[in-house]
Amino acid sequence: MKNAVQHWSGGKDSALCLYHALRQPQVHVSHLLTTLNEHYQRVAMHGVRPELLDAQAQRIGLPLQPVWLPEMPSMAEYEQRMATALSDLRRQHNVTVSVFGDLHLQDLRAYREQQVAALHLEAQFPIWHKPASELLAEFFDLGFRAIVVCTNEQHLDASFCGRELDRDFLRDLPPGVDPCGENGEYHSFVYEAPYFSSPIAIRRGEKVRRSYRNPATAETPSDDCFRDAPTPAEAGFWYCDLQLATA
């Protein structure tokens, strides 16, 4: 059996991907790996607090390997930090498989395969090319629950941010928006899953608009979540600041 690391964003795609990876008899998922912005202390792209990420890992029962990135990493810096983290997992825990929750972006898949192959790792994509309707029906039917934590205002206005990711949300999506948000229309945070030991109690904090520099390519890893001020050539994003609920 091969040891694997699940590339984990905390959102619906990586959560459903992990569900399938855990059921592969030839693979043992031993770790989660997540990129975070070290300046803003948030999960890259999603803007989620690290303590929520830790709550997910605790309920899954897997160790979390964070990869901390600077505010605006170059591709070279991103690749170097990812390579270091993956090499450490391979050396210390005999991890030989990287599991990704990508769906349809062929260029991104090719990029990931190339990067992990250079580290003598195998890339796997358990939910690759699943139709959106099938993927989301499975997500709901299995009992996953999630909150939309980020929306791209080029596609969705602020009213979609902070909503429960459910069938009503999907029915309200404007024409042209990918139901799975595969083009970056929205990101989510999973607070209940069939493999969680218990749901995560959360509360919605403030909803804020921040600017995010448009990546030059689909695989560019830069993350500008919760920036203080916009700069030219940037798009607006809305974030719902989720927090752990206290008794």
Segments making up each domain of the chain, as ranges: 2-124, 132-244
Rounded to 5 degrees, what are φ and ψ at 88?
A: -65, -40
CATH topology classification for 2-124: Rossmann fold (3.40.50)
Q: How far, CA to CA in Å, does 128 sit from each of 17, 18, 91, 109, 138?
A: 9, 13, 28, 9, 14
How high is the pLDDT of residue 15? 97
Taking the model in full, what pTM does it have?
0.88
Q: What is the pLDDT along the chain (247 residues), one digit of tens a residue?
A: 999 999 999 999 999 999 999 999 999 999 999 999 988 889 988 889 999 999 999 999 999 999 999 878 889 999 999 999 999 999 999 999 999 999 988 999 999 999 999 999 999 999 999 999 999 999 999 999 999 999 999 999 999 999 999 999 999 999 999 999 988 899 999 999 999 999 999 999 999 998 866 554 434 444 333 333 333 357 789 999 999 997 4
How high is the pLDDT of residue 227? 37
Spatial separation of the C-alpha atoms in residues 243 and 225, rounded to whole Å: 16
